[in-house]
Amino acid sequence: MSWSENGQIVVDERFLNRELSWLAFNERVLELATEPGIPLLERAKFCAITSTNLDEFFQVRVAALKDQMIAGIDRPTWDGRTPAQQLAAISQWVPGMIERLDEAFVDRLVPELRAAGVEIISWEDTTLDERAELDRIYESRMFPVLTPLAVDPGHPFPYISDLALSLAVNVADPETGDRRFARLKVPDVFPRLIECAPGRFVPAEEIIGAKLDRLFVGMVVESWAAFRVSRNGDLTVEEEEADDLLEAVEMELRRRRFNRAVRLEVAFDIGEELLDLLVRELDLSHDDVSVHRSPLDLSCLLELMSLDRPDLKDEAWSPVTAGRIAAADEGDRPIFDVVRHRAVMLHHPYESFSSSVEEFIGQAADDPKVQSIKMTLYRAGGDSAIIRSLMKAADRGKQVAVLVEIKARFDEATNVQWAKQLERAGVHVVYGMVGLKTHSKVVLVVRDDGDQLRRYCHIGTGNYNSKTARIYEDIGVITCDPDIGADCAQLFNHLTGYSRAHDYKTLLVAPRDLRRQLIDLIEHEASFGTEGEIVMKCNSIADEEVAEALYAASNAGVRIELLVRGICCLRAGVPGMSENIRVRSILGRYLEHSRIYRFKNGNVVVNGRLPGAVTNEIHLIGSADLMPRNLNRRVEVLVPIEHERHRAWLDQAIEFQLADGIVCWELQPDNRWERMGPTDTFEPHAQERMYRWTVEQQTPVAH
């Protein structure tokens, strides 16, 4: 075992560790908080994202490694590390990341924001007038909802909920000398950042800490400090043994609140006595403690995005309505007429989600010619126009069936509530498949067009979630291709009924066939040697078999371009192994989320058909990343893109991201991610080029 220059353990020289690769991704996000070409409030947003990303990493990944150790599992991952080795490497990496986060926020952003008229200050920095305003806010909005919980022989150590911000307080009785510990939760019913004067904010915990004498009347407050606990976020459902999956998930959601603690975050000035008590009562070790100079839970910085300071934010990019849909709107023609003429491809958020996907489902709900609607629902979010349309369709007597994936991590509770509302509205609801998560993004609408019944399908890379559709980059296609429609119908029969999986004519579907089909395409490309080319754009590559196939193709001379936002477990540019592989990561105002797979010589039979009939190239889009969970344990769908204009659009999107001189990060042969492009600006950037180009394309097209 050795160490690379960036502190990464190298056990198997052929592969990078998944967990450490994720930490490297979060380091790239953190770098955005220090980019001089990004407006200040946007940089603060990236501090918040770095913080929340790290929360989920501990809740899910670190918790899973700890569970493996408790269970006595020491089987190494395919990069050669045991759970203990991975935890050791994580414990070496994370403190440095937190230190860099503190530097980015405390040492750089806070002074720069202050110079721009936005100040985050402590209680000690407030003026007399500001304290009077904070006194008023405290008495009217904060004090009534605070509940101190003392620890003594009659009051055990209180339960500390996951990710809740709390104060640890030591108090003493001046008459008896008795000393006690108390925990005080900072409620989320008021803002975390309290404005005491225009542009001046004090963290809520600072105000509460300054006024602890109001809560502990007659006692002496000796010390206090903020702290926060991360708990195991896993949801363990024995699906094979559950008589009612919905009920089982609801029960596990209640149990998850009491999962084991995996991390304790504390303020840098916490006293040793308080820290030792928290570590002991939470059954942690001091190795599980993260110490911060920044306020704990920097997601509070997102509150600053509501400030009316356009000079400190990105220029607004208004989404456009896809040209053919816009032309149909002007002629008062339904989307079905547009799609019947030719499939429509959509690129969000450059093109509007609401005027396309939401409108497609909304029109299907209202259209008397529509007989049925089926869809998969992974993450719908809160207020959902799509779910309202589905309930309206059911109310109007249409056959509506929705597969709600109630095991979607951290969206389980929301999805359970949506499932219940849909059922009450008369929608046929299926709660996923036993042993698999349904991650595919598919809608199937059956419409009587007069001449025949047609199936209209939407297949995409992103969730049916109007909120994330404004900040996630995704691609989808609406089509009435008969073969795609037949495949989608068979897919839903398999998902909602007892139909056995069959050979699809067009779709590539996991878990049965997708892995084999992708590897076949990679190996086919390798047969062309230096004339071969593979481009893969996805969120993560962490599958050993796929990585080995790409290494073999590289050694055969195939040029391989990988656009990977997050985890990448294969190495790039290593002589004799991956010298023809380049890996780029594009980060920016949008979360790169689409999956595009392009094979230059892909004109091979896939599912009994030639997807590359127009040219030799094959283009695939869909929901699947290249990870074992996607290829083995999820229902995923990729669909070939066959129309020449749609292929050209995908090629243009890829070209912007592979262009020379743009801001990006590239994985080096020594496993470092190197920032490329100009260092004094965040331009040129692929996302801005894509947006400007998309706007130029929106001249209405005649039919």
Q: Is residue 479 domain-shared with residue 601, that is, in the same domain?
A: no
pLDDT digit string, tens, across residues 210-266:
999 999 999 999 999 999 999 998 765 544 444 455 665 666 555 656 689 999 999
518 and 452 share a domain?
no
Residues in the chain: 703
Residue 541 lies in a domain: yes
Q: Would the pLDDT of 459 be above 80?
A: yes
Report whether pLDDT(30) > 80.
yes
Instruction: Tell whether the model's pLDDT for residue 517 goes beyond 70.
Output: yes
**Confidence class for position 110, pLDDT limits 50, 70, 90:** very high
For residues 420 and 449, membership in a common domain is answered with yes
What are 538-595's pLDDT values in tens digits? 999 999 999 999 999 999 999 999 999 999 999 999 999 999 999 999 999 999 999 9
More confident call, 248 vs 13: 13
What mean pLDDT do residues 650-676 have? 97
Is the link from the previous residue into 156 a cis peptide, with omega within 30 of 0?
A: no
Q: What angle do CA 638, 644, 650 make, to 5 degrees?
A: 55
The pLDDT confidence band at residue 687, using thresholds 50, 70 and 90, is very high
pLDDT exceeds 90 at position 144: yes
638 located within any domain: yes
Helix/strand number for the chain, H first, E second: 20, 29
Q: Considering the domain boundaries, does residue 703 fall inside one? A: no
Q: Check residues 177 and 623 and name the one with the higher pLDDT.
A: 623
> At residue 639, what is the residue type?
V
Of the residues 251, 275, 310, the one at which a domain ends: 310
DSSP state, 255? H
- The answer to whether residue 292 is catalytic is no
Greater confidence (503 vs 474) lies with 474
Which candidate in 292, 347, 348, 439 is catalytic? 439
Grouping H, G, I as helix, E, B as strand and the rest as coil, residue 149 is strand
What CATH number is associated with residue 133?
Answer: 3.30.1840.10
Q: What is the pLDDT of residue 703?
A: 33
Position 542 scores a pLDDT of: 96
Q: Which domain covers residue 191, as residue numbers? A: 120-234+260-310
Last residue of a domain, one of 59, 87, 112: 112
Q: 451 with 518, same domain?
A: no
Residue 643 inside a domain? The answer is: yes
Whether residues 478 and 334 share a domain: the answer is yes
pLDDT at 178 over 80: yes
pLDDT band at 500 (very low <50, low <70, confident <90, very high): low
- Please state, rounded to an integer, the average pLDDT across all residues of the chain: 91
| More confident of the two residues 412 and 452 | 452
Q: Residue range 611-633: average pLDDT?
A: 85
pLDDT of residue 188: 92
Q: Is the pLDDT of residue 95 over 50?
A: yes
pLDDT at residue 149 is higher than 80: yes
Among 58-62, 243-247, 512-516, 655-659, name the one with the lowest average pLDDT.
243-247
On whether residue 316 sits in a domain, the answer given is: no
Given a cut of 90, is residue 610 above it in pLDDT? no
What pLDDT shows up at residue 2?
A: 41
558, two tokens: 């195939």
**pLDDT tens-digit map of 344-402:** 999 999 999 999 999 999 999 999 999 999 999 988 777 889 999 999 999 999 999 99
Q: Which residue has the tokens 């050694």?
A: 555
Residue 289 pLDDT greater than 60, yes or no = yes
User: Which amino acid is located at 456 in the chain?
Assistant: Y
| Same domain (yes/no): 192, 63 | no
Q: Exposure string (b/e) for 142-154, b if CB count within 10 Å is 16 or more?
A: beeebeebbeeee
Q: Are 579 and 689 in the same domain?
A: yes
Please report whether residue 442 resides in a domain: yes
**Residue 229, φ and ψ in degrees, nearest 5:** -120, 135
681: helix, strand or coil: coil
Rg (C-alpha) for the chain, rounded Å, is 27
Give the 3-state secondary structure of residue 609. Answer: strand
| Count of structural domains, the chain | 4
What is the average pLDDT across 600-621? Answer: 68
> pLDDT of 395-439, one tens digit each?
999 999 999 887 766 667 777 888 888 999 999 998 877 788 889
The pLDDT of residue 411 is 64
Q: Of the residues 112, 144, 168, which one is the last residue of a structural domain?
A: 112
Find out whether 650 and 475 touch, Cβ atoms under 8 Å: yes
Same structural domain for residues 98 and 137? no
In a domain, 135, yes or no: yes
Report the pLDDT averaged over residues 645-664: 97
The yes-or-no verdict on residue 681 having pLDDT over 60 is yes
Calculate ∠ Cα 599-588-303, nearest 5°.
140
- Give dist(CA 321, CA 350) in Å, integer: 9
Q: What is the pLDDT, as a whole number, of residue 655?
A: 98
Measured in whole angstroms, the distance separating CA 400 from the mean position of its chain's CA atoms is 28
pLDDT category at 676 given cuts 50, 70, 90 is: very high
Q: Apex CA 397: angle with CA 394 and CA 402, to 5°?
A: 30
Instruction: Quote the CA–CA distance of 540 and 569 in Å, as a whole number.
Output: 8
Closest listed residue to residue 47, CA positions, set 5, 82, 94, 97: 97
Q: Which of 35-44, 95-104, 435-444 has the lowest mean pLDDT?
A: 435-444
Query: In the prediction, which pLDDT does 258 show?
Result: 67
Instruction: Using the CB atoms, write b or e for 518-540: b if 16+ within 10 Å.
Output: bbebbebbbebeeebbbbbbbbb
Cβ proximity of 437 and 510 under 8 Å? no
> Are 132 and 214 in the same domain?
yes
For 504, counting Cβ atoms within 10 Å of its Cβ (0-12 exposed, 13-18 middle, 19+ buried), the class is buried
Higher pLDDT, 658 or 70: 658
Q: What 3-state class would DSSP assign to 674?
A: strand
CATH number, domain of 441, equals: 3.30.870.10
Does 701 have pLDDT greater than 50?
Answer: no
User: 182 and 276 share a domain?
Assistant: yes
Report the share of the chain in percent with pLDDT over 90.
Answer: 78
| DSSP per-residue letters across 361-396 | HHHHHH-TTEEEEEEEES---SS-HHHHHHHHHHHT
Residues 615 and 569 in one domain: yes
What pLDDT, on the 0 to 100 scale, is given for residue 498?
Answer: 60
- Identify the band that residue 614 occupies on the pLDDT scale cut at 50, 70 and 90: very low
Q: Give the pTM.
A: 0.92
Q: Is the pLDDT of residue 99 over 50?
A: yes
Q: Examine the domain organization and report whether 51 and 88 are in the same domain.
A: yes
Say how far apart CA 616 and CA 604 lie, in whole Å: 8
Report the share of the chain in percent with pLDDT over 70.
90
Tell me, yes or no, whether 335 lies in a domain: yes
| Residue 528 one-letter amino acid | F
